[in-house]
Amino acid sequence: MLMDGNERFASGNATHPHQSEERMSELLSGQHPFAIVVGCSDSRIPPEVIFDQGMGDIFVIRTAGQVMDNVTLASIEYAAEHLNVPLVVVLGHDSCGAVTAVVKGGEVPGHLNSLVDYIQPAVDEAKAAGNEDQLLNNSIDYNVKNIVEQLSTSEPILSEAVEKGKLTIVGARYHLDSGEVEILE
C-alpha cells in the first residue's frame, strides 16, 4: 500500500485518502495504522504525502537523520506491541542535511553533536567501502541499513516480533528529484 501510494504521488495522481470528516469519526474509537515510518525531520519528506496516505494509516516518527534514541525506540515499540503494526520502514533521503554535516566533519554547536554520534558509524563504513565520489550517498544508505539492523536486534520487543514473523523492518530511500521511494536491499 505504501509503494502504491508513492507511485500515485510520484506520478502526480495522489488521491489523498482518509482525510474526510467520516475518517475523523472512524478514528475516534482508536487507530490501526498498517505501517510505521521512521523518517527524517526534513520538511521536504512528509511520509503521509509521499506515500499518499491519510489520517490513521501510518504511524510516523521523525528525527533528523532518522536518529534512534530511547524515546524513538519506545515509540516504535508502542506501535509494534500495542497497535500490532506489522511493518517498519526506515526512510532515508537524498541530500540529508544531518548525514551531510557528519560527512563534512568539524565542530557542531549545541546538541547537534548527539546526531553526529549516531550517524558517524555509517560515514565510517562508507569511507571504508571506498568510492569517495559517492561518500554522501553511501553514507545515507549505510545509515538506513544500520538503523534497520538496530531495530531488528532491539530487545526484547522488536527483536522478538521480528523473530516470530510479526514484524518486518525494511530500509528505503526517497529521491528528491523524482518523488520515488526505493526499497534498499
Query: Which amino acid is it at 37?
Result: V
What does the pLDDT profile of the chain (185 residues) look like in tens digits?
A: 999 999 999 999 999 999 999 999 999 999 999 999 999 999 999 999 999 999 999 999 999 999 999 999 999 999 999 999 999 999 999 999 999 999 999 888 899 989 999 999 999 999 999 888 899 999 999 999 999 999 999 999 999 999 999 999 999 999 999 999 999 98
CATH of 2-13+34-179, one of 3.40.1050.10, 1.10.8.100, 3.40.50.300, 3.90.79.10: 3.40.1050.10
Burial tier of 27 (Cβ tally within 10 Å: 0-12, 13-18, 19+): middle
Looking at residue 122, its pLDDT comes to 97
Half-sphere exposure of 153 (CA within 13 A, CB side): 6
Nearest to 2 by CA among 86, 73, 68, 65: 86
Q: Could you tell me the three cell numbers for 185?
A: 536491499
Looking at residue 96, its pLDDT comes to 97
Looking at residue 131, its pLDDT comes to 86
Looking at residue 52, its pLDDT comes to 98
Looking at residue 104, its pLDDT comes to 94
- Between CA 112 and CA 131 the distance in angstroms is 27
Give CA 17 to chain center in angstroms: 21
Looking at residue 132, its pLDDT comes to 86
Cβ(50)–Cβ(9) under 8 Å? yes
Cell 530500509 sits at which residue? Answer: 171
Domain ranges of the chain: 2-13+34-179
- Between CA 87 and CA 173 the distance in angstroms is 16
- Between CA 138 and CA 123 the distance in angstroms is 8
